[in-house]
């Protein structure tokens, strides 16, 4: 494999740095080359090229926004021994800690980039001699297939978010479940659920946001320049999709519950009140994630540090509490002492747009 890598990279030097990594899916190794240090992900499965091609396109799309740091992709190589290798920029990284607050702002910038580009181009069209230089994406999907793990994602373009979410995301997953397990009950429940999905987005305007697509805690880190994200499976969709994944495994924004946009909060809450942390993306954007209080969110864990960083950011404030499902109102609790305890509350949080500073925590 080393000989093939040398040929593909056009280097006479290919010296292992001794740094290696192994994930759930692929293994990795850093090398010094004539052109600098690179990181090479290797996977020997037959579907590796499809997976790496999608990851390369995702990194390129995020890189073009200039909103959040990602490794610069270089080349996908089909290996003579089977499988593929993905060569990218090497970055010395550690676990997310002191730059967690900055990551919140970077993610908000990423999610708002396409919308801001549209607003900028609409303004430029009113000026003689100015025209669009970067296309605005007005549909939901992506131009190539991507993968979460080995699972290919259906990214065919759709004009409506509800259609994309129902058909390309949920229906696609249910089809795989039925094919692999023949779960008849799941199919019957899905037939009932899909009829109700449009009502969940009544009066909610969703403009396509470029997403990471697999934003769990294992795919975020920090380096000397600040926070970074990697291993994406991007598509254009609802920003809260990223934030939903961010809550899995108690990671990134903490174990999450009750993701809601300001528009969705106009509807009557139909879930039971529960303790949660809610983060809001400002500038009239989406509500981010919240909730949970396992060790990750506890004051000794990285999630606790993340929540405290967010809580200390400009614009942090508690929102008025709405009624629970029984019509009873609950006053918001005072914030816990800085650096201690958990951010928690009772009742429904009603959000309003706040001045832009990324994702911020508010009790609810």
Q: Report the C-alpha gap between 232 and 155 in whole angstroms.
A: 14
Which one of the listed residues 109, 183, 214, 300 is annotated catalytic?
214
Q: Which alpha helices (H) appear in the chain, and where do they start and end? A: 2-9, 48-65, 100-124, 161-163, 172-181, 184-200, 239-245, 302-311
Nearest to 108 by CA among 262, 233, 251, 279: 279
Q: What is the DSSP string of 253-303?
A: S-S------TTGGGSPP-S-----EEEEE-TT--EEEE---STTTSTTSHH
State how far Cα 19 lies from the chain centre: 27
| Structure tokens, 253 | 């924004």
Q: Report the C-alpha gap between 27 and 39 in whole angstroms.
A: 10
Q: Report the C-alpha gap between 149 and 218 in whole angstroms.
A: 12
Secondary structure letter of residue 333 according to DSSP = P
To which residue do tokens 């479940």 refer? 177
Active site residue 214: yes
Nearest to 353 by CA among 286, 266, 260: 286
Question: Are the CB atoms for 220 and 229 separated by under 8 Å?
Answer: yes
**Residue positions annotated with a catalytic role:** 214
């Amino acid at each position: 494999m080393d000989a093939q890598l040398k040929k593909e990279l056009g280097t006479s030097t290919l010296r292992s740095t001794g740094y290696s990594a192994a994930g759930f899916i692929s293994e990795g190794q850093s090398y010094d080359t004539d052109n600098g240090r690179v990181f090479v992900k290797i996977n020997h499965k037959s579907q590796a090229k499809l997976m790496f091609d999608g990851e390369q396109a995702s990194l390129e799309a995020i890189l073009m926004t200039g909103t959040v740091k990602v490794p610069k992709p270089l080349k996908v190589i089909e290996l003579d021994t089977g499988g593929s290798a993905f060569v990218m920029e090497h970055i010395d990284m550690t676990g997310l800690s002191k730059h967690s607050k900055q990551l919140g702002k970077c993610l908000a910038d990423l999610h708002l980039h396409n919308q801001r580009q549209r607003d900028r181009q609409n303004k430029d069209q009113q000026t003689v001699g100015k025209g669009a230089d970067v296309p605005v994406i007005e549909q939901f999907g992506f131009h190539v297939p991507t993968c979460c793990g080995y699972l290919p994602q259906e990214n065919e373009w759709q004009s409506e978010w509800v259609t994309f979410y129902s058909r390309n995301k949920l229906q696609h997953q249910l089809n795989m479940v039925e094919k692999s397990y023949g779960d008849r009950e799941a199919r019957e429940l899905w037939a009932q659920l899909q009829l109700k999905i449009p009502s969940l987005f009544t009066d909610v305007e969703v403009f396509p946001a470029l997403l990471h697509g697999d934003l769990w805690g294992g795919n975020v880190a920090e380096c000397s320049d600040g926070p970074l994200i990697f291993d994406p499976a991007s598509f254009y969709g609802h920003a809260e999709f990223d934030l939903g994944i961010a809550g899995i495994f108690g990671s990134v924004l903490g174990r999450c519950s009750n993701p809601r946009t300001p528009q969705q909060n106009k509807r009557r809450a139909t879930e039971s009140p529960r303790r949660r942390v809610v983060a809001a993306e400002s500038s009239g954007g989406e509500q981010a994630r919240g909730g949970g209080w396992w060790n990750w969110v506890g004051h000794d864990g990285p999630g606790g540090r993340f929540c405290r960083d967010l809580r200390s950011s400009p614009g942090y404030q508690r929102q008025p509490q709405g009624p629970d499902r029984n019509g009873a109102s609950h006053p918001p609790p005072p914030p816990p002492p800085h650096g201690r305890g958990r951010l928690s509350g009772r009742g429904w949080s009603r959000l309003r747009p706040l001045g832009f500073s990324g994702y911020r925590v508010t009790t609810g």
